[in-house]
Structure 1
Amino acid sequence: MKVLIVNTSESTGGAAVAAHRLMDALHANGVEAEMLVRNRSTSDTLVHAPHCKWWLKWCFLWERLVIFIHLRFSRKGLFAIDIANVGTDITARPEFKAADVIHLHWINQGWLSLKSLQRILQSGKRVVWTMHDLWPVSSICHYAEECTGFHNACGHCPQLPHPSSKDLSHQVWKQKEKVYREGQITFVACSQWLATQARMASLSQGHRVVSIPNAIDTQVFRPMDRRAAREALGLPTDPNLKIVLFVAQQITNVRKGGPYLIEAFQKLLAAHPDYRHNTALLILGGAAEQYTSAFDVPVFPVGYTEEVERIVQTYNAADLFVIPSVSDNLPNTIMEALACGLPCVGFAAGGIPEMIDHHSNGYVARAQDTQDLADGLHWVLQSDATTLQQAALDKVHRCYSQQSVAQQYLAIYEGK
């Protein structure tokens, strides 16, 4: 069996990381798999990309321009929606022709159009689509928040400046509905939360929806000596200093909840002033330096990187991981932290409560409740580190191992 994994990027973003890890997991379990991406960043012979760069750039710019016009020339929300009005036909490529299964992941921002999807479905090949957000079964949005328009035929979209019953969201919904009638899709949600959302979508009706988590290589993401990790990153090595880690591709992304973390730290320090002297914040991600003056504890910003060794060192330099996201699917960052033995603290949002076992490998705070988030940070900082670490490692090996995830996908590929 040959599987072709299709994603916009080879390595940038959570979906790319998950897609590449799945390819590795499939290989480790005897399945032949390759990737087809728009943005290739390595010389990996198993990863393919088109050579016509001008066309790819044109597709990206044209889609953004159309969206910009529909947003009445406002930049707000310019990358919050996708309409897939233009893209690349991959069905003539040799990798596509050789594959038995076409496994789609995140294919937005001018990579595949709805016309491209139609041709893929018309090919008769088995199509599996891993959902890293809601877009595959919504019309234009990646996160619907409180909107339930995707349960029906969209329209009156809150992400558009002048919503109406026949607005852009409804138009794209109609196009998707027509395309999806061309064949069968198995939608795979990375979390039970997203699977529940997907099953309520009108576009998923007549198609199969299942839930399979992402995989992680526990030979790469694993515990290592904390002092050595801190030395490698140029951090203080005092064993009495507790370091809290916050990670996001773009720290200023409103969904990642940076302002909630600031407020939670203020409440934590007000209730427990001693933390001012023995606690620090480590931030890994783009624009991390913008937060250096926002906390009353030392802040160590580490810029965004795709270098795995440095990422693993960053997790191992910390004592706990915090994720204040207000909406998220099944964050790779939690999985990575757990695999490195870090207890996690986060809001009860999206798939986060499926990953953090409350009072076992971390603390699940009430959604957007900064006092509860502060209480969670305190609870972890005061708990037995060895017990929390073991619970974190147990969770990863039980739920997210390469073998477990690969076997679940293999059953899907075989139509079981």
Structure 2
Amino acid sequence: MVLHLSTFHREGGAAVAASRLNRALQNNGIASQMLVHDSDITEDNVTPLAHSKWQKKLALGRFIGERLAFLPFEKDSSVRFAYSPAVVGNDISGHPLVRKADILHLHWINFGFLSLESLKKLLALGKPVVWTLHDMWTFTGGCHYSRGCNNYLTHCCNCPYLSRPGQYDVSFEHFEIKARIYEHANLSLVSPSHWLQQLVQNAALTNQLSALSIPNCIDTDIFRPKDKTGIRNRMNLPRDKKLILFAGANTLDIRKGFLYFREAMQLLQDESYEILIFGKSGSNAFDDLGTRVHYLGKISEVEYMVDAYNTADLIVVPSLEDNLPNTIMEAMACGTPAVGFETGGIGEMIDHKENGYLADFKSSVSLAEGIQWVLKNNEDKDLSLNAREKVLHNYSEKVVADRYTQLYTKLL
């Protein structure tokens, strides 16, 4: 049995990817279960660590404790959730599902679910451990994305996330702890993108560990092309406008590049375009976008999300650092072309001028040109067809489940 370990069940891109893999493996005949920190959603083969109200309060307390542990060190509030010290967590080494598992499969484990100490105890069990990386935390002193800092290539210190960076700061300390934990671990690292795999192979903490790249998966029977006109009628959206979609877990996250999307839309100023947005957002996020905005809020219902992707003419993903964005995969599965910066794993998903457009990094002008190019060149829907085909051949459940099954078999 494979046991997936994830802080969240379906909250955030990493949890969504982990949940999809758990279901994909089950659909392909693999005994697979998932253990999460807490969840308000009931799903077969998914077990929350916190069941009772008291346990849920403890789970919240661990999250708060983890944040408070970093508070004295943080540079400012903008980095509060971008660095995880992993000093608070659960010891799950004796949990019945952990004991029963043949393979332990880690995903995103921070925010009070697993600490470095509990990670050490898991690895000490001697079971084969697969770790799918959803950001850079595994091989840094604590940051989830390095924002251009390359200290992890040699040894983390002088961390730009800290209020008092130094040669022996807290990032140095946590780097040392991880080095000791990994030294004799039966650990295989999986990167959803080749971009992240290259970082793993270059990082000082992980360059001696087994590493490969397997993408995330998606259910292409759920995320599929649908009738655009019918959806727009149901959602009271205009049928005579080109709808440009921006989607993300948090539109105000600097890493998601909303600033560049705003500047690109201000450059376009075309009355035939309107904007469609879903995700978390602040009250002033849509000021000065230069055109009408249809804000759908945070979407948790899958069918409604599929409709949102289908009603759009393209999706814009101007992330500055990203692994293998679910939003691009979801949109392309629905036949919606994507425009994004050529950075991280985005360049592996978007084939330039075949199923979308790769804009020059941090160029709002290039982003605007990409939006115009896709809208102009997709009248015959070739880009849409290519986008769907890319997902079917690379990210479908069976394709990804087969690759993980081969890895598990090899480890056992």
2:322 equivalent to 1:323: no
CA distance in structure 2 between the aligned counterparts of 1:55 and 1:126, rounded to whole angstroms: 29
What amino acid sits opposite 1:62 in the alignment? G
Counterpart selection for 1:406 from 392, 401, 406 = 401
What amino acid sits opposite 1:228 in the alignment? G
Q: Does the aligned pair in 1 maintain the 2:263–2:289 contact within 8 Å?
A: no
Q: Deviations over 1:154-209 (max 9, x none)?
A: 10111112211100100000111111124121111110001111111111133111
CA distance in structure 2 between the aligned counterparts of 1:245 and 1:54, rounded to whole angstroms: 37
1:384 CA displacement: 2.8
Q: Which residue of 2 aligns with 1:53?
A: 56
What amino acid sits opposite 2:44 in the alignment? T
1:235 CA displacement: 1.4
Q: Does the aligned pair in 2 maintain the 1:137–1:198 contact within 8 Å?
A: yes
Q: Deviations over 1:34-67 (max 9, x none)?
A: 1100121211131111232233222211221121
2:355 equivalent to 1:357: no
1:382 CA displacement: 0.5
CA distance in structure 2 between the aligned counterparts of 1:131 and 1:290, rounded to whole angstroms: 33
Secondary structure, counterpart of 2:410 in structure 1: coil
TM-score normalized with structure 1 length: 0.95
Secondary structure, counterpart of 2:171 in structure 1: helix
TM-score normalized with structure 2 length: 0.96
Q: Does the aligned pair in 1 maintain the 2:260–2:318 contact within 8 Å?
A: yes
What amino acid sits opposite 2:4 in the alignment? I
Counterpart selection for 1:63 from 66, 70, 88 = 66
Counterpart selection for 1:344 from 338, 341, 345 = 338
Q: Which residue of 1 aligns with 2:295?
A: 301
Q: Which residue of 2 aligns with 1:111?
A: 113
Q: Residues 226 and 151 of structure 1: is their aligned pair in 2 closer, same or farther, counting only changes over 3 Å?
A: same
1:226 CA displacement: 0.4
1:8-407 aligned within 5 A: 8-51=7-50, 52-71=55-74, 74-236=76-238, 238=239, 240-269=240-269, 275-276=270-271, 278-287=272-281, 290-385=284-379, 386-407=381-402
What amino acid sits opposite 1:10 in the alignment? H
Q: Which moved more, 1:357-366 or 1:222-231?
A: 222-231
Percent identical pairs in the alignment equals 40
1:306 CA displacement: 1.3
Q: Does the aligned pair in 2 maintain the 1:288–1:301 contact within 8 Å?
A: no
Secondary structure, counterpart of 1:173 in structure 2: helix
Secondary structure, counterpart of 2:4 in structure 1: strand
Q: Unmatched 5+ residue regions in structure 1?
A: 270-274
CA distance in structure 1 between the aligned counterparts of 2:199 and 2:133, rounded to whole angstroms: 11
Q: Unmatched 5+ residue regions in structure 2?
A: none
What amino acid sits opposite 2:322 in the alignment? D
Q: Residues 232 and 182 of structure 1: is their aligned pair in 2 closer, same or farther, counting only changes over 3 Å?
A: farther
Q: Deviations over 1:291-322 (max 9, x none)?
A: 33322211000111211011001001111111
What amino acid sits opposite 2:361 in the alignment? A
Q: Does the aligned pair in 2 maintain the 1:288–1:302 contact within 8 Å?
A: no
Q: Deviations over 1:390-416 (max 9, x none)?
A: 110110011101111011111111226
Q: Which residue of 2 aligns with 1:272?
A: none
CA distance in structure 1 between the aligned counterparts of 2:78 and 2:256, rounded to whole angstroms: 17
Q: Deviations over 1:69-113 (max 9, x none)?
A: 1127x4231111001111001121111111101100000011101
2:410 equivalent to 1:415: yes
CA distance in structure 2 between the aligned counterparts of 1:42 and 1:54, rounded to whole angstroms: 17
CA distance in structure 1 between the aligned counterparts of 2:142 and 2:210, rounded to whole angstroms: 21
CA distance in structure 1 between the aligned counterparts of 2:378 and 2:42, rounded to whole angstroms: 44
Q: Deviations over 1:96-148 (max 9, x none)?
A: 11110110000001110111111111111110000000001111111012111
Q: Does the aligned pair in 1 maintain the 2:66–2:86 contact within 8 Å?
A: yes
CA distance in structure 1 between the aligned counterparts of 2:285 and 2:63, rounded to whole angstroms: 31
Q: Does the aligned pair in 2 maintain the 1:292–1:300 contact within 8 Å?
A: no
Q: Which moved more, 1:355-364 or 1:89-98?
A: 89-98
RMSD between aligned residues: 1.3
Q: Residues 305 and 202 of structure 1: is their aligned pair in 2 closer, same or farther, counting only changes over 3 Å?
A: same
What amino acid sits opposite 1:71 in the alignment? E
Q: Deviations over 1:231-250 (max 9, x none)?
A: 232212x2x31100000111
What amino acid sits opposite 2:352 in the alignment? H
Q: Does the aligned pair in 2 maintain the 1:26–1:33 contact within 8 Å?
A: yes
CA distance in structure 1 between the aligned counterparts of 2:225 and 2:110, rounded to whole angstroms: 35
What amino acid sits opposite 2:401 in the alignment? A
How many corresponding residue pairs? 406
CA distance in structure 2 between the aligned counterparts of 1:387 and 1:249, rounded to whole angstroms: 29
Q: Does the aligned pair in 2 maintain the 1:199–1:205 contact within 8 Å?
A: yes
What amino acid sits opposite 1:308 in the alignment? V
